[in-house]
Amino acid sequence: MNILITWSNKWIWKAIKESLENKHTIFKVSKNPSKDDNFFQCDLTKKEKIEQLDFWDIIFDVIIFNAWVWYYGEFFEQKLENYEEIINLNLLSPIRLLKCLEHNINKDTKIIFLWSIASKKFMKHGSVYLASKFGLRWFAWWLKEEWKKVYIINPKIVDTDFHKDKIILPENVKPIKSEEIVSVVENVILGKELRFEIDL
């Protein structure tokens, strides 16, 4: 299979890439430089950069959207530029990129949004981040009415250093492992997981 993954250089994204690359042909899009094969460098917060991407005549069997950014803090503590980056990357880049991919997909292409349980719950000090997550979730919901093979995966806090020094978890809340997310992604790709929305 040809699988396109956005932002694949660390944390969950790295685990997914490493799990899939021995079984499928993986194409990657990220603003961070890479020497990987089939790599396309692109700042997904920039509309004009997305429009310049050229995936030739590749037909993707699976597209995994998991590029996102988060700035933690009270609303008026952050710069407007930070909020624009959140909206551009978390909400607008999947929409823009998917539109640019209309000649690289067909009705059998699976579209997977690796998102967050924050798209369904309220979280302190994350107003614009939550807005981006809520917005993309509803985009995915209605896209499924047209496309059918759309999936959204909502992990809770993941066992990485992404949230280090930002969130203190209650004692009864245990982070999930990246491997659990990878397993669900693989099951969606293989057709073993058919639910539109999967909460982890």
CATH no. for residue 21? 3.40.50.720
Residues contacting 125, CB < 8 A, separation 6+: 72, 73, 74
Cβ count within 10 A of residue 34: 13
Each residue's pLDDT, cut to its tens digit, for the chain (200 residues) gives: 999 999 855 667 778 888 898 899 999 999 988 888 899 999 999 999 999 999 999 999 999 998 888 787 889 999 999 999 999 999 999 999 999 999 999 999 999 999 877 666 667 778 898 899 899 999 999 999 998 999 999 887 766 555 555 555 555 556 678 788 899 999 999 999 999 999 98
What is the reported pLDDT for 42?
A: 95
What is the reported pLDDT for 97?
A: 97
Residues contacting 87, CB < 8 A, separation 6+: 128, 131, 132
Residues contacting 161, CB < 8 A, separation 6+: none
Residue type, 88: N
What is the reported pLDDT for 15?
A: 82
What is the reported pLDDT for 149?
A: 96
7: left (phi over 0), alpha (psi -120 to 50) or beta: left
* DSSP secondary structure of 36-60: -TTEEE--TT-HHHHHT---TTPPP
Residue 4 CA, chain-centre distance (Å), reads 11
Per the CB < 8 A criterion, the answer to whether 136 and 94 are in contact is yes
Range of the domain at 137: 2-199
Joined tokens for residue 92: 């607008």
Cβ count within 10 A of residue 7: 25
DSSP state of 79: -
DSSP state of 128: H
Q: How many domains does the chain have?
A: 1
What are φ and ψ of residue 44, in 5° steps?
-75, -5
What is the reported pLDDT for 17?
A: 81
Distances in whole angstroms, Cα of residue 121 to Cα of each of 34, 93, 131: 35, 22, 11
As to burial, measured by CB atoms within 10 angstroms (0-12 exposed, 13-18 middle, 19+ buried), residue 14 is middle
The owner of tokens 């909206």 is 87
